[in-house]
Amino acid sequence: MANNNRGSFSSKFGAIAAIAGSAVGLGNIWKFPYVAGENGGAAFLLIYIGITLLISIPVLLAEFSIGRHGQGNAFRSFVNMTGKKGWGAIGILELLGAIFVLASYCVIAGWSLEYIMRSVMGGFHGMTQTQMDVQFDMFVASGWRPIVWMVVFLIINSGVLGMGVTKGIERCSKFMIPALFCILVMLAGVNLWQPGFQEGAAFILKPNWSAVSGHTVLAALGQSFFSLSIGMAAMITYGSYIQRQESLNGVGVIVSLATVLMAILAGLAIFPSVFSYGIEPTKGADLVFKTLPPLFAELPGGYFISILFFILLFFAALTTSLSIMESLVAFFSEELHIKRVWALAIGFAIILISSTLCAMSQMPDSHILVGGETLFDWTDKFCSAYILPLGGLACVILVGWFVPHHVVEHELTSSGKTPLWIYKFIVFMMKYICPVVIIILLVNCILDYFGVDMIAALMSLIH
Ligand code: PHE
């Protein structure tokens, strides 16, 4: 059952860097600051931190436990943990989610490479907002150019993975995660001198309790799960590489706090510029590829700031993409009993096809649509709304209710080193609270699909 030839993270720092690498990604840099600002700033932040500590960390620990005890890829770990093949279906679902997420992730990562190149060539100086809009839209619609960059990104990703878990993923993350942190601190530091710093900082740091509603809590929950890479095979796979002597709780808490910190820093690096120029804050591609480049170009040292910003984006996307692709590589190599390099070739081919389709779905007149949306938009929404909560739910139910107590205790107390009350609290959350909360999130997503606002419906029932 257990495969002793599997790789592992060689140290605690290595494990933390790799896992934080998976967590800190585009979700932190281009989603969190905006969602936080829109949902009450610091009020959202406090709810987000509370949810991360009480709900997301137990789910994350359930995934780690399945991986470390199961000692296999996402599918095999479920089977090994339960002794039943049926549970493996959850692993397969999570792996499918991983493919969907990576498909659009590689496209965006490719954009960051294009924009690193444009920054190096000094392309943003003196450009107006409208010119930036047109330039980005033309680039995305051109079809072949984003595809070429996406392929370059995939080759870099595969190059790192080809070196293995310790020498590839761990070494790369040990360099990139501290670098990412330094770049964020530098970018936030430069913003201190911006006239809009106070306003920008207030956008994410000042609590506005009147903007808080049931929606805020659900938004915080979704954001926290996505940020911690829950429900999509990555954390089970990485959990299987954490060595026995490391404390899963310690790793989980440090990674979660680091993720929150990086998201706040991202907000401080981005919004002061936006407010200094009196521009409406946006999110996603619009914010990162249209709004920010000309603003950064105006700053003292703007040339280097643009380059650093897009390198930041590239690092964040790369370390995250490693965890997703590694989940596929581990699956194919262990299930088909083939060498890592062949498993990597299969993963590469699958993502190459799916990412190409995602990129093509953004071309004008594209017919690659699902439910009226481009494949690119649909994959992200589908995964965040359904696969992620379903995967997380299955993990907490499995670990909370089905796995023998001594196994869970062994994993979560690091063989007796962690106080028992902490273990008991985590298991209580896994058993009772997390499933209820995740089911509410899922029901909300399903109702949302049918155009029903769950919170509004509940409120009208109460009144
Ligand atoms: N955590 C990543 C981010 O914030 C996204 C992700 C989701 C990665 C699921 C892996 C699995 O960008």
List the chain pLDDT tens, one digit each, 463 residues.
445 578 999 999 999 999 999 999 999 988 888 888 888 889 999 999 999 999 999 999 999 999 999 999 999 999 999 999 999 999 999 999 999 999 999 999 999 999 999 999 987 888 888 898 899 999 999 879 999 999 999 999 999 999 999 999 999 999 999 999 999 999 999 888 888 999 989 988 899 999 888 889 988 999 999 999 999 999 999 999 999 999 999 999 999 999 999 999 999 998 888 888 888 777 778 888 988 888 888 888 889 999 999 999 999 999 999 999 999 999 999 999 999 999 999 999 999 999 999 999 988 888 888 888 899 989 988 898 899 999 999 999 999 999 999 999 999 998 778 889 999 999 999 999 999 999 999 999 899 888 888 888 888 888 7
Whether ligand 1 lies within 6 angstroms of the CB of 74 is answered as: no
Ligand 1 atom showing the smallest separation from residue 226 Cα: 7
What pLDDT does 203 receive?
A: 87
DSSP reduced 3-state for 369:
strand
Residue 460, both tokens? 């009208």
Residue 110, both tokens? 């490719």
Rg (CA), the chain: 21
* Upper half-sphere CA count for residue 350 (Cβ side, 13 Å): 20
User: Candidates 28, 32, 35, 101: which one to mutate for ligand 1, based on the most atoms within 8 Å of Cβ?
Assistant: 101
Q: How many whole angstroms separate alpha carbon 248 and alpha carbon 44?
A: 27
Residue 430, both tokens? 């896994």
Q: How many whole angstroms separate alpha carbon 276 and alpha carbon 295?
A: 9
Whether ligand 1 lies within 6 angstroms of the CB of 263 is answered as: no
Contact 59, 392 (CB under 8 A): yes
Separation of CA 25 and ligand 1 centre (Å): 6
User: Candidates 227, 313, 390: which one to mutate for ligand 1, based on the most atoms within 8 Å of Cβ?
Assistant: 227
Separation of CA 460 and ligand 1 centre (Å): 35
Q: Which residues pair with 207 in a beta bridge?
A: 41
Q: How many whole angstroms separate alpha carbon 396 and alpha carbon 58?
A: 8
Separation of CA 98 and ligand 1 centre (Å): 9
Amino acid symbol at 15: A
Contact 105, 317 (CB under 8 A): yes
DSSP reduced 3-state for 116:
helix
Burial class (CB in 10 A: 0-12, 13-18, 19+), 370: middle
Q: Which residue has the tokens 């089905």?
A: 402
Closest CA to 117 of 86, 81, 148, 77: 148
Beta-strand pair 369-370/373-374: antiparallel
Protein residue closest via CA to atom 6 of ligand 1: 229
Separation of CA 323 and ligand 1 centre (Å): 9
Whether ligand 1 lies within 6 angstroms of the CB of 223 is answered as: no
Contact 257, 45 (CB under 8 A): no
Ligand 1 atom showing the smallest separation from residue 24 Cα: 4
What pLDDT does 4 receive?
A: 54
Separation of CA 127 and ligand 1 centre (Å): 32
Whether ligand 1 lies within 6 angstroms of the CB of 256 is answered as: no
Whether ligand 1 lies within 6 angstroms of the CB of 259 is answered as: no
Closest CA to 426 of 394, 407, 400: 400
Phi-psi region of 37 (alpha: psi -120 to 50; beta: other; left: phi over 0): alpha
Protein residue closest via CA to atom 8 of ligand 1: 229
Ligand 1 atom showing the smallest separation from residue 320 Cα: 8
Whether ligand 1 lies within 6 angstroms of the CB of 320 is answered as: yes
Whether ligand 1 lies within 6 angstroms of the CB of 392 is answered as: no
Protein residue closest via CA to atom 10 of ligand 1: 229
For 40, 172, 212, the CA distances from 28, given in Å and listed in that order, are: 17, 19, 20
Q: How many whole angstroms separate alpha carbon 235 and alpha carbon 217?
A: 23
